[in-house]
């Protein structure tokens, strides 16, 4: 098989606002054994990959973020129990420490972190460009200072591919320029031009035979630029495509509206990925628009800050109202946190600063997000997504 195969299994027949939620399957190759022969670029023959393990990802799907080779506070076994099918690693952070060559020498990222599922690595572009006062962008790449020690580094499309090749992820993201928000049309168009040029350059860098590539298109909140960028990027030989440049400061309404415009611009027969999104409501609206894959730090970051997502709305567990609450965090959740511990106990752990607070809170939030995706997938197959969506919002308000 090729590095990635996508099968569109079903589109909802009664979608909201004329959009078409969809469910599918992404099949990915695992890395071959280290004993397999490879060339100087790390590529291996197709024959050796025919025996490689196949990973199956059911879409729509949420990818927990493992920035530094760990989804914060959770073990890989806990991720599996929660239902995670793919996780995300961060090229920028892993390049700075422990270093991509070290990770490769130790057996690539999966072996390094003992995760036996697939991994998507972002290109490092968003992190580099978000270092507003610490970078300098030109047509060749970006020079930036490390947020750790201030040392200078330079990322190019080629280096981003080389780092991700060393990490050994199943899905490799193109290096792109994410324009800021707000941005003028000229600024967005300039970022689009660089993104297209860098996408072409990145394709020339060979990857390992198990690695697939995703392109990213830009366009900000300008519908005509989104159409133009999608046409340009989707003409290139990528295995899937991502919507970039959203959830960077615009309102949720603007982000959701542009997602409804952007998703249908992408090929029907390839995976669609909305990067860095987001709240449960944003996942629901993204799926409604026809998006397949999502990632965001929100469930893990907010868990550590005491904000928990439940089927009945958000719970700020530090609030005094929960001090004597013997009920479960979410009566509709089967995760270990909800089955075994009370809201009162979770509040006690949080206000005392106990490490267990971060672990139990994160376990719940990740479990909730992954169950949310499974529920939407089921509703799509049963042609009741609109009904499910209405019930989701009704329950969120009831809490």
- 287 with 242, same domain: the answer is yes
pLDDT of residue 17: 64
Domain range for 364: 297-399
42 near 208, Cβ under 8 Å? yes
Q: Tell me, what's the pLDDT at 364?
A: 98
* 122 given a catalytic annotation: yes
Total domain count for the chain? 2
What is the C-alpha separation between 43 and 165, in angstroms, rounded?
9
Residues 307 and 287 in one domain: no
Cα atoms found within 13 Å of the Cα of residue 52, Cβ hemisphere only: 32
Domain boundary (296, 328, 361) is at: 296
pLDDT at 33: 46
Residues 32 and 162 in one domain: yes
CA–CA separation, 54 and 148 (whole Å): 37
Return the pLDDT at 32: 64
Question: Measured between alpha carbons, how far apart are the two ends of the chain, in Å?
Answer: 47
Distance CA 30, CA 28 (A): 7
Same domain, 79 and 204: yes
**Is residue 282 among the annotated active site residues?**
no
Q: Considering only CA atoms, give the Rg of the chain.
A: 21
Adjacency order of strands within the sheet including 135-137: 135-137, 142-145, 152-155
pLDDT of residue 50: 43
**Burial grade of 269 (CB within 10 A; 0-12, 13-18, 19 or more):** exposed
Give kind and range of the element (H or E) at residue 370.
helix 355-381
pLDDT tens for the chain, 399 residues: list them.
689 999 999 998 765 567 899 999 999 999 864 433 344 344 433 433 445 589 999 999 999 999 999 999 999 999 999 999 999 999 999 999 999 999 999 999 999 999 999 999 999 888 777 776 778 899 999 998 898 999 999 999 999 999 999 999 999 999 999 999 999 999 999 999 999 999 999 999 999 999 999 999 999 999 999 999 999 999 999 999 999 999 999 999 999 999 999 999 999 999 999 999 999 999 999 999 999 999 999 999 999 999 999 999 999 999 999 999 999 999 999 999 999 999 999 999 999 999 999 999 999 999 999 999 999 999 999 999 999 999 999 999 987
> Domain boundary at 270, 296, 322, which?
296
**Are residue 331 and residue 377 in the same domain, yes or no?**
yes
Domain endpoint, select from 277, 296, 315: 296
Residues 6+ apart with CB under 8 A from 132: 180
For residues 217 and 98, membership in a common domain is answered with yes
Task: Compute the distance between CA of residue 312 and CA of residue 318 in angstroms, rounded to an integer.
Answer: 17
Residues 113 and 89 occupy one common structural domain: yes
Whether 39 and 31 have beta carbons less than 8 Å apart is answered as: no
Residue in 122, 176, 282, 292 annotated catalytic: 122
Residue of 239, 282, 292, 295 marked active site: 295
Rounded CA separation 362/342 (Å) = 15
Q: Is there a single domain that holds both residue 256 and residue 340?
A: no
- Whether residue 365 sits in one domain with residue 216: no
Q: Can you give the pLDDT at residue 102? A: 98
**Looking at residue 172, which CATH number applies to its domain?**
3.20.20.105
Same-domain check for residues 236 and 127: yes
Q: 225 and 353: one domain?
A: no
Q: Are residues 245 and 321 located together in one domain of the fold? A: no
The beta-strand segments (E) located in the chain are 4-11, 22-29, 54-59, 61-64, 87-90, 119-122, 135-137, 142-145, 152-155, 171-173, 212-217, 240-243, 272-274, 293-296, 307-310, 313-316
Residue 135 has a pLDDT of 86
Distance CA 150, CA 16 (A): 48
pTM of full prediction above 0.85: yes
């Amino acid at each position: 098989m090729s590095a990635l195969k996508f099968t569109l299994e079903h589109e909802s027949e009664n979608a909201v606002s004329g959009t078409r939620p969809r469910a599918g399957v992404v099949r990915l190759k695992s890395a071959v054994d280290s004993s397999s022969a490879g060339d100087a670029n790390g590529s291996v023959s197709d024959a050796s990959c025919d025996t490689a393990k196949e990973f199956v990802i059911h879409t729509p799907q949420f990818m927990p973020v493992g920035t530094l080779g760990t989804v914060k506070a959770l073990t890989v076994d806990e991720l599996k129990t929660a239902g995670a099918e793919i996780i995300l690693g961060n090229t920028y952070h892993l390049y700075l420490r422990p270093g991509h060559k070290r990770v490769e020498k130790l057996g690539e990222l999966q072996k390094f972190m003992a995760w036996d599922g697939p991994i998507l690595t972002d290109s490092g572009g968003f992190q580099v460009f978000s270092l507003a006062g610490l970078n300098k962008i030109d047509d060749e790449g970006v020079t930036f200072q490390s947020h750790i020690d201030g040392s200078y580094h330079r990322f190019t499309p080629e280096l981003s591919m080389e780092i991700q090749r060393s990490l050994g992820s199943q899905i490799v993201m193109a290096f792109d320029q994410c324009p800021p928000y707000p941005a003028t049309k000229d600024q967005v168009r300039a970022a689009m031009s660089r993104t297209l040029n860098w996408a072409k350059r990145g394709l020339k860098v060979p990857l390992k035979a198990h690695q697939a590539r995703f392109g990213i298109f830009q366009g900000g909140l300008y519908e005509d630029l989104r159409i133009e960028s999608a046409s340009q990027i989707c003409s290139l030989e990528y295995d899937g495509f991502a919507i970039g440049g959203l959830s960077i400061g615009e309102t949720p309404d603007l982000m959701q509206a542009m997602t409804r415009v952007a998703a249908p611009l992408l090929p029907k027969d390839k995976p669609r990925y909305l990067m860095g999104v987001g709240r449960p409501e944003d996942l629901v609206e993204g799926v409604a628009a026809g998006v397949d894959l999502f990632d965001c730090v929100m469930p893990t970051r907010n868990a550590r800050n005491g904000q928990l997502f439940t089927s009945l709305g958000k719970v700020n567990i530090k609030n005094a109202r929960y001090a004597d609450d013997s009920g479960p965090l979410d009566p509709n959740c089967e995760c270990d946190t909800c089955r075994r511990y009370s809201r009162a106990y979770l509040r006690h752990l949080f206000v005392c600063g106990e490490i267990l607070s971060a672990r139990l809170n994160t376990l719940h939030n990740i479990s909730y997000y992954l169950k949310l995706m499974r529920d939407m997938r089921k509703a799509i197959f049963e042609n009741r997504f609109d009904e499910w969506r209405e019930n989701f919002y009704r329950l969120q308000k009831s809490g």
